[in-house]
Amino acid sequence: PPSDDSEFVRRVYLDTIGLLPTVDEARSFLADTDPHKRTALIDQLISRPEFVDYWSYQWSDVLLLTGSRLRPDAIKSYYKWIRDRVASNTPWDEFARGIILARGSTIENGAANFYALHQDPQDMVETTSMAFLGMSIQCAHCHDHPNEKWTNDDYYGMVSLFARVRGKGWGGDFRNGDGNRTIFLADRGEVLQPRTSRPQPARPLDGQAISFDDPGDRREHLAKWLTAPDNPYFAKAIVNRVWANFMGRGLVEAVDDIRLTNPASNEKLFARLATELVRNKYDLKWLMRTILQSETYQRSHVVLKENVADQRFYAHSYPRRLKAEVLLDAISQVTAVPTVFKDQPAGTRALQLPDANVASYFLDTFGRPERVLTCTCERSDEPSMTQVLHLTNGKTIQEKLEAKEGRVSQFL
């Protein structure tokens, strides 16, 4: 059966902007008799500034924004680049091209920090394939992939696409400077394939190779192949990521493990959503609306005896834990006591942090990723005794309950 309004309003707020509805927002929605009120609420939520906070944080996970590897000015620039594109609803193909083709100062062009983080062509290939193709080709680094069609030659063909990307300077010592690095292209240079001691012709995974003598930016060839409407991987990868955010698991699970030997739970739906996303010019808000308005998303979490065992086909909504950042913001919201983060403006929420390296025992305890690898495996939703003890007698909740300006004190 469909969810009732109280279940839906809580779910759609958390999944879309990472916040609980306020008491007034919930009461207003429940009292509304308009039969189209769910669609209206969806449109309101994806237009709110908190939507930009939530999805900027999501893409910062994928693109590995962390102060453990970038200096503050570089982090600020990279985060602003991402945030500006979420705010303007930049088409996903344009977003990807901005990353792949980035060059220049990492302070002036935030996207260039992708190459400050990845100074080895092999790292560039592996992060690009995980972030924008939803697949790991790392196994083909040493040998032909055991679970996929990609060969060692395919891997080094991709590596050759990045072989001439160079960077200079950190604006001083990396630990003390401003992190300003300049990304540029060399006129020559190749990466040798260890198995053959020769470079592979630059070629996207199943695209066309280009000549070693081609003077152009090889990344242009990659970007054109990557975002081509007939690329069978690019649109599916982002569909799967967005679907997993709203449904708790991807049509292909895990979301960065798309391969022939790991089929989608509904291949026809997967293909149709990807096709429609391309037809709608990679508009992610269109994709989100489509999912949020569906009967599948709006189903109840209450199971029937016929579907109690389902964990794959979305016969009911799957209950799931809140992400660490969403949980901490929810606790702050309910107690009316903002969390204080070192060196951050007062009132900054966890989902507004541009840097995963900002100290927070709570976030680390509840599974915040370190942003070292572009892999969903970095984020943990597993329960632990440490979590239980921290919720029971840790300072996060105790201090919020005791705060004079908090909701409990106001009630008393």
Confidence band for 373, pLDDT divided at 50, 70 and 90: confident
- Is the CB of residue 178 less than 8 Å from the CB of residue 172? yes
Residue 179's pLDDT is what? 83
Q: Reply yes or no on whether the pLDDT at 87 is more than 70.
A: yes
Confidence band for 193, pLDDT divided at 50, 70 and 90: very high
Q: Reply yes or no on whether the pLDDT at 138 is more than 90.
A: no
Q: Reply yes or no on whether the pLDDT at 18 is more than 70.
A: yes
Q: Reply yes or no on whether the pLDDT at 91 is more than 80.
A: yes
pTM score, whole prediction: 0.95
What number is the average pLDDT over the span 300-326? 95
Q: Reply yes or no on whether the pLDDT at 245 is more than 70.
A: yes
* Distance linking the first and last C-alpha atoms of the chain: 41
Residue 178's pLDDT is what? 75
Dig out the tokens for 102 from the structure.
């980035």
Q: Reply yes or no on whether the pLDDT at 43 is more than 90.
A: yes
Supply φ then ψ for residue 167, to 5 degrees: -140, 150
Confidence band for 307, pLDDT divided at 50, 70 and 90: very high
Which residue is it, tokens 């003598």?
213
SS3 label, residue 292: helix
What number is the average pLDDT over the span 109-118? 96
Q: Reply yes or no on whether the pLDDT at 173 is more than 60.
A: no
Confidence band for 169, pLDDT divided at 50, 70 and 90: confident
Burial class of residue 339, CB neighbours in 10 A (0-12, 13-18, 19+):
buried
Residue 197's pLDDT is what? 95
**What residue spans of 46-151 are helical by DSSP H?**
49-62, 72-87, 92-100, 113-117, 121-133
Confidence band for 145, pLDDT divided at 50, 70 and 90: low
Residue 251's pLDDT is what? 97
**What value does the mean pLDDT of the chain take?**
94
SS3 label, residue 193: strand
**385 contact partners, CB below 8 Å, separation of at least 6:** none
What number is the average pLDDT over the span 265-280? 98
